[in-house]
Amino acid sequence: MQTFNIYLLRHGKVQGRPALYGHTDVSVDAQLQQLIYASLMASDIDFGQVVTSPLKRCADLALLLEQSVECYPVSINNEFKEMNFGVYDGVAFDQLTEQWPLLEKFWHHPQQNPLPQAEPLDEFYQRVIQGWRSLVEFTQHDTLVICHGGTIRMILAHLLGLDWSNPALFSVMQIANQSLTHIKMTVSDQRYLQVCSIGSPLKLV
């Protein structure tokens, strides 16, 4: 019997005006990335490999880890990207005043009110869970996954048997920037997964 830990780390706060940042490739301030990196190195979590979303708000941190003295092996997983919010992706909210009623409908019932040209919520869920199942099947090390708030919520919905279309996953479940969600996996005759913590803040040093 083997036990592995998987840590889902939401990236740091991005640069830019408030907006829906999905596939828009915005950055985290370099100084903040360094603080997150230093905090990971000073923390008591242990991991042997890193999996990252390809978006630079995640991948830049993975690069710091890859180039560190410890030289963590890094793999990129496109399935762990944030949801694509279509034509409103990356557009500042103060430029969407006329679209606010549609945005409110989306926030209250995202599955029934998709945004223009956006990735449907069910397809987002299926994409993320396909990547998650592959990770769980082949993981042989404690693993740090650097990804996004929406991605983590879909994984938790899957593990906890929750309705992935429930808007409360986004409005009630708090997954803050640079927070860790800890999943423990025990491998014996099959894989047993436990959610140990959700959205625990990473203490910046």
In a domain, 200, yes or no: no
Please state, rounded to an integer, the average pLDDT across all residues of the chain: 96
In a domain, 201, yes or no: no
Domain of 109? 2-185
Q: What is the pLDDT of residue 132?
A: 98
Q: Which of 143, 152, 142 minimizes the C-alpha distance to 177?
A: 152
In a domain, 52, yes or no: yes
In a domain, 80, yes or no: yes
User: Predicted confidence band at 117 (pLDDT cuts at 50, 70, 90)?
Assistant: very high
pLDDT (tens digit, 9 = 90+) per residue, 122-149? 999 999 999 999 999 999 999 999 999 9
pTM > 0.75: yes
- Mean pLDDT over 34-59 rounds to 96
In a domain, 205, yes or no: no
With a pLDDT cut of 90, the percent of the chain lying above it is: 95
In a domain, 198, yes or no: no
In a domain, 193, yes or no: no
In a domain, 196, yes or no: no
- How many independent structural domains does the chain possess? 1
Q: What is the CATH number of the domain that holds 70?
A: 3.40.50.1240
pLDDT (tens digit, 9 = 90+) per residue, 59-74? 999 999 999 988 899 9
Q: What is the pLDDT of residue 205?
A: 78
